[in-house]
Structure 1
C-alpha cells in the first residue's frame, strides 16, 4: 500500500469513508437527516477540507463546527466516526501522511466535542 499522496488519494479515502458512514447504524441516520439525495456537494467539500488539512492546498471554505451544533451527536458518535475513518485509511493507505490524517481526525473530534459541549452548556443559561 502507498501513502496518501494527493487529491486522488483523498478522494479514494473520503468516498470509501462516506460509503461506510451511510451504511452505519449510528452515523447513517445523522447524515441522512441532513444530506438529502445528492452527496456530491458534501463529498467535494470534504475533498477540499482534507486536501487543505493534509497538504495545505487552499480551496476549503466553510465552518464545519457551526454545521454540527444542531446535530444530535455525542461522544459515541465521534468515536464511531474515528473508527470508520481509521478503517477507511487502513484499507487503502499506510505511511506518514496516513498516520497524520488519523491524528488530525482525532484532534478534530476532541475539539468539536469540547466546543459542542460548551455551546450546549451556554444554551442552558437563563438570563
Structure 2
C-alpha cells in the first residue's frame, strides 16, 4: 500500500530506489557512473537535499548546478531523469508531499536545463 512521504526514512526509500534505477539506465546511468566514485556521500547529500526541499530541515549544503554544469547533458537526459523520478515516487508514495516532490523535481530539471543552455556549450563559465 502506498503512503505519504512523511520523514527522512521515506526520503531514503525513494532516493535509494531512484539511484538504483539511475545506475542501470542506458542514457543517464553512464554519466552518473563516470562522475560518482563513492555513492555513499552522494546519497547522503540527496537525503539532506530532499529533506530540506520537502520539509524545510536544515542540513543541505552545496551547489547542485555547479556539479552539473560541466556534464555533457541536455533535454533528453533531464526527461529520462524525470521519468525515473516520477516512476520511483509513484511506485512507493501518494499524496500531497509525493506530488510536491515531483513538482520540485520538474522545476529543478527545467531550471538546470535553462541554465545549461545559457552557457552556450561553455561549461567553463558556470552561472552560480
Shorter-chain TM range is over 0.9
Counterpart check, 1:102 vs 2:88: no
Equivalent residue for 1:92? 92
Which structure features the higher share of helix residues?
A: 1
Equivalent residue for 1:8? 9
Alignment size in residue pairs: 123
Structure 1 stretches lacking a partner, 5+ long? none
Equivalent residue for 1:60? 60
Runs (4+) of structure 1 exceeding 3 A deviation are: none
Q: Show CA shifts across 1:85-106 (max 9, x none).
A: 0000011000000000000100
Equivalent residue for 1:73? 73
Equivalent residue for 2:126? none
**CA RMSD of the aligned region, Å?**
1.4
**Structure-to-structure mapping, 1:26-37, within 5 angstroms:** 26-36=27-37
CA distance in 1: counterparts of 2:104 and 2:29, whole angstroms: 22
Look up the SS of the partner of 1:111 in the other structure: helix
Look up the SS of the partner of 1:120 in the other structure: coil
Distance 1:73 1:122, change over 3 A: closer
| TM-score for both structures, normalised by structure 2 | 0.92
CA distance in 1: counterparts of 2:115 and 2:43, whole angstroms: 24
Distance 1:97 1:71, change over 3 A: same
CA distance in 1: counterparts of 2:64 and 2:6, whole angstroms: 24
Pairwise CA distance, 1:119: 1.7
